[in-house]
Amino acid sequence: MILSIESSCDDSSLALTRIKDAKLIAHFKISQEKHHSSYGGVVPELASRLHAENLPLLLERIKISLNKDFSKIKAIAITNQPGLSVTLIEGLMMAKALSLSLNLPLILEDHLRGHVYSLFINEKQTCMPLSVLLVSGGHSLILEARDYEDIKIVATSLDDSFGESFDKVSKMLDLGYPGGPIVEKLALDYRHPNEPLMFPIPLKNSPNLAFSFSGLKNAVRLEVEKNAPNLNE
Look at the pTM and tell me if it is higher than 0.85.
no
Q: Which of 17-31, 120-134, 153-167, 213-227 has the lowest mean pLDDT?
A: 120-134
Cβ(76)–Cβ(99) below 8 Å: yes
Q: What is the mean pLDDT of residues 58-72?
A: 95
Q: How far apart are CA 155 and CA 203, in angstroms?
A: 13
Does 2-125 match 156-230 in CATH topology?
A: yes
Cα distance between residue 104 and residue 83, in whole Å: 24
The full set of domain ranges for the chain reads 2-125, 156-230
- Is the predicted pLDDT of residue 126 greater than 60, yes or no? yes
Q: Residues of the chain with pLDDT > 70: what percent?
A: 97
Q: Is 132 exposed, middle or buried (0-12, 13-18, 19+ CB in 10 A)?
A: middle
Q: Higher model confidence: residue 73 or residue 125?
A: 73
Higher pLDDT, residue 233 or 15:
15
Rg (CA), the chain: 21
User: What is the 3 state secondary structure string of 6-42?
Assistant: ECCCCEEEEEEECCCCCCEEEEEEEECHHHHHHHCCC
Q: Strand 106-110 and strand 130-135: pairing? A: unpaired
Mean pLDDT of 119-135: 85
Q: Which amino acid is at 233?
A: E
Question: How far is the C-alpha of 2 from the C-alpha of 109, rounded, in Å?
Answer: 13
Tell me which architecture the domain covering 2-125 has in CATH: 2-Layer Sandwich (3.30)
Overall average pLDDT of the 53-62 stretch = 98
User: Which secondary-structure segment (H or E) carries 163?
Assistant: helix 162-172
Top-level class of domain 156-230 = alpha beta
Nearest to 11 by CA among 2, 1, 36, 172: 36
Given its phi and psi angles, is residue 22 left (phi above 0), alpha (psi -120 to 50 degrees) or beta?
left
Decide: 31 and 10 in contact? Cβ < 8 Å.
yes
pLDDT band at 233 (very low <50, low <70, confident <90, very high): low
